[in-house]
Structures are given as C-alpha cells and as structure tokens.
Amino acid sequence: MNDLSERKIIQGIARQATRRPADLVKGIGDDCAVVRKGHGLVELWTMDTLVEGVHFDLSWHPPRLLGRKAANVNISDIGAMGGRPRFALLSLGLPRACAAQLIDPFLAGFQEALGEYEVALVGGDTVSAGERLLLSVTVCGEMREDQVCYRSAAAAGDQVWVSGCLGNAACGLELCRRGVAGQGEYAALLHAHLDPHPQVGLGALLAESGLIHAMMDISDGLATDLAHICAESGVGAEVMAGAVPLADELLQAANLLGLAPLPLALQGGEDYQLVFTAPVENNESLQTLCLQAGMKIFCVGRIVAGNRVMLRQDTGWRDITFGGYEHRF
C-alpha cells in the first residue's frame, strides 16, 4: 500500500468524476470546487478532515486552539482562491473515551474562529468514532467569478511569491513532539502549528487587484504546493533557496533541534501562507498594494517552461517537485 499516495487517489477520483453540470466552473483539483451562483458570483466549496494522532495530538493541542484550527484550515482554502468564507458544516466523531471537558472548549474555539470571519455554522453531525477524535469540516465561500484565482493560471515568466515565513508550523510541531513547547522564545512557531492564521484578507486583496495569476495555500509545503500549481498550469518553477523567508525563531529553534531550517520551510506542511504567481510587470503595483494594506510578501522564485520545481542553492540545482509532505497510506 505504500504506493497509494493521496495524489494518486485524488487523480483516480477526478478521472471518475466526469459529470459536469453547466454551473460547475471547477471540480476536483483546486483548493475549492467552484459553482456558479448567478449575478456574476460563484460559490467555493472545500472539505477537510483532521484525525487525532494523524493531524493533531491532544497531549499538546489545547482543545480551543484545535477548534480554531479545524475551522481555519478550511477557511484558508477559501482565502486561497480569493473568496470570502460564509457557511460551515462540522462533523464531529467522538471516541469512546472522549472527555466532556474537551468538547465544550473545542466547540467554543471552532465558533470563535468562524466568528472572526463572519462564518455561520449551519449543520453537520455527531457520531461515535472508536479510538480517535475526528473532525470533518466543510466550508462554503463566495466571490466574483471573474476574480477567482486558480492553481492553473501560472504562466512562464511569472514571479513566485509567498505571503510570509515558511517552516514555522513544521518547527512548532517538532518542538511540541520533543516536549520543548514551554519555551516563550518560540511562541511564534508554536502558534503557527497550534493556531494557524488563514490569509483570507490578503487572498481577497490579491484576487480583487487583478495583479496575480495562480494562487493556493501552503498546506503540504512549498515544494509540493508549488508543484501543484506547476502541474495544473503546465509549467515549471525555480525557487531561490536564499529568498525563502525564514523567521529568526525558526533559525534558532532548528539549531536547538539539530534540524536544517530550509527543509522545514520547503517540505514542512501547515504554514497556511499563500503562494501565488504574478507577471513581472506587476511587481511594483503588487508590493505597493500589500505595503499599503500592511502586509509583507516575498518573491521566492519564478515560473519557467517545463514541469519541475527546481531549487537553486549555492551548491547547484536540486529537483524538489512534490518534495513536501505527502500523505501515504
């Protein structure tokens, strides 16, 4: 079963999903499905499942923050296409020995995160689930059809941008795993893992600006998520190792942990920063726009002809295509 990767399963599902109603703008293969709603608007749909012991560990994840994260990782998918999240459904699978004192703060955190983006919880279900807590969330968003930013819109010559430091979440997870979570100097890293912040505002700003081409959120690491953009767009990409934004805390913590920071940034998942591409001629407008909104963005490379994601280091080029976190079964 070790060749049964998430990507292959999804490709198999997508091949079978041949039904194409006229109002379905985009089915499987992007951060969200896109369905035409009328009046120039579309709906965006996304669904993510988090499984205890696979995606989170209750021994260090406070239930309230877990609730926030379950909401925010889905909200991030809406933001990654430039949309505004509106409605959520929650399916809660409770293990046999689930503590009542876990559910209340979890739900409070979930609602708190929804509230920050004015998302209404409208349904779902609650089931028994054996050994592990299961969190399945569906979020529906909305936006103008002509502003949707797809993975497939990258063009050779575009520059590749990210919305913030990478690797923080992966390093925060490692700190938690090794039990060095209590150190205040790494608060930003722990926060990135425990309570990630979806880039909804920036996503909408970029989508409305018309200055960018492709966009998605970084949930599986830049190496993999940029490879998704390349695969969908029929292009390749070059990433400059020295341009990948790394937080000072990451450098310090990686040193403490004996880990190289760059692999954390390229292969570590769950940063929920945005990666997007834009024509070179929009550079100045893009930077001005983000600066005025108080947001910093970082150019990390460019889109080229081909189909690989290549990393440029001092020592030469390295192929990192789909080299991020890959779910295997």
Ranges within 104-163 binding its own copies (CB under 8 A): 104, 107-108, 111, 114-115, 118-132, 134, 136, 138, 140
10 Å CB burial of residue 196 (0-12, 13-18, 19+) is buried
One-letter amino acid at 101 equals Q
Q: What's the residue count for the chain?
A: 329
State the nearest-atom distance from the C-beta of 249 to its own copies, in Å.
29
Chain position carrying tokens 């947001």: 295
Q: Rule CB under 8 A: which of 285-324 touch its own copies? A: none
State the nearest-atom distance from the C-beta of 280 to its own copies, in Å.
33
Among the listed residues 96, 179, 182, 314, the single contact to its own copies using CB under 8 A: 96
Q: Rule CB under 8 A: which of 232-261 touch its own copies? A: none
Return d(Cα 206, Cα 293) in angstroms, integer: 11
Q: Rule CB under 8 A: which of 12-71 touch its own copies? A: 12-13, 16-17, 19-21, 24, 27-28, 32-33, 35, 37-39, 45-55
- Nearer CB in complex with its own copies: 9/187: 9
Burial 24-40 (b: 16+ CB within 10 A, else e): ebbbebbbbbbbeeeee
State the nearest-atom distance from the C-beta of 258 to its own copies, in Å.
27
- Nearer CB in complex with its own copies: 137/160: 137
- Nearer CB in complex with its own copies: 144/312: 144
Among the listed residues 58, 62, 87, 144, the single contact to its own copies using CB under 8 A: 87
Among the listed residues 97, 184, 284, 314, the single contact to its own copies using CB under 8 A: 97
Say whether residue 197 binds its own copies (CB under 8 A): no
DSSP 192: H
The two structure tokens encoding residue 23: 């109002």
Q: CB neighbours of 41 closer than 8 A, spacing ≥ 6?
A: 142, 143, 144, 145
One-letter amino acid at 299 equals C
| SS3 label, residue 60 | coil
The two structure tokens encoding residue 140: 């529906």
Candidate ranges 4-12, 223-231, 274-282, 284-292; the one touching its own copies (CB under 8 A): 4-12
The two structure tokens encoding residue 124: 């779902």
Number of residues that bind its own copies (CB under 8 A): 75
